Amino acid sequence: MAKIVLGVGASHSTLMNTHWEETTHKAEAERFRDALHAARARIAAARPDVVILLGSNHFRGFWLDLIPPFTLGVGECNASGESGTPKGPQNVDIDLARHLAGDVVESGRFDLAFSARLQIDHGQSHAIQHLLDGIDVPIVPLVVNVFAPPLPTFGRCEELALALRDAIASYPGDKRVVVIASGGLSHRLPWPDWRDPHGDDEDFMVQAWLDGRENWSDYDVRRRQIIRAAEAAISPEFDDRILDLFATGKAAELAGYSTSELEAEAGNGAQELRTWLMMAAILDYIPAERLVYEAIPEWLTGMGAVVLDPAERPVEL
């Protein structure tokens, strides 16, 4: 059977790639980067055969013509390569991916969308770049819709994670599995609710999300300008509370959040914490080691990282 050997949750920001030199909170940025290096070392030491990669979509792989709540990559996977993140084909463990999809659906617990030609964006490729650099390991990508409402509830995310946990355990081959969650913590992107845009910038963004599948580059310059003009909205108090939940093995409390409650407390970007919740659920909510937390306004985001290591879990007598 497959064995889960490590879980990692880490924030992402493409501004880390594109605006490193312009970052004035350099010490904070360096501490976060160093923590990613430390997490990468932990992943390498775990000797994974496969990484299950939970990430969000930023309207590079999915557009408003079709937005499933959850999509599992079961074949080809291509990274869009925006803002200095990896571009091109990614190595997928197709056998495990198809086992997970089949087991979750056939068990009757979840109707999971799948893609045999999946495109991912920095919601996952940022983790490939910084957490899997130099580690030759295939992935199983799962894209969670966190930016195009209505969003899957946190409770529903937990239910899928538990179904995936059992599907991993039922895999007949021996595999060492690492689970990575990419996204969060608190931040607010200048992105509208597509159902009710206000003003020229929001109308532009919604049009890009509708029409960008074939001509994304036509929208990219203005889209980037809108993002760069945004003011940071980081909530260190919220982030500290969430990281404490992970550290004390109480991350399941995230499942009680509603979409509106979370946005009010921590911004629309905090909806990415769905992936952290799912990672923790797959690892049975064992206590996490907090590697770092830095509020970096230039990146618009509270940047954190945690590691969940089953080998460090106390043995129950």
Instruction: Tell me, letter by letter, the H, E, C secondary structure of the chain.
Output: CEEEEEEEEECCCCHHHHCCCCCCCHHHHHHHHHHHHHHHHHHHHCCCCEEEEEEECCCCCCCCCCCCCEEEEEEEEEEECHHHCCEEECCECHHHHHHHHHHHHHCCCCCCEEEEEEEECHHHHHHHHHHCCCCCCCEEEEEECCCCCCCCCHHHHHHHHHHHHHHHHCCCCCEEEEEEEECCCCECCCCCCCCCCCHHHHHHHHHHHHHHHHHCHHHHHHHHHHHHCCCCCCCHHHHHHHHHHHHCCCHHHHHHCCHHHHHHHHCHHHHHHHHHHHHHHHCCCCCCEEEEEEEEHHHCEEEEEEEECHHHCCCCC
Say whether 126 is catalytic. no
Say whether 99 is catalytic. no
Q: Which residue has the tokens 């068990």?
A: 107
Q: Which residue has the tokens 């260190």?
A: 236
Write down the catalytic residue from 12, 58, 99, 122: 122
Residues with a known catalytic role: 122, 187
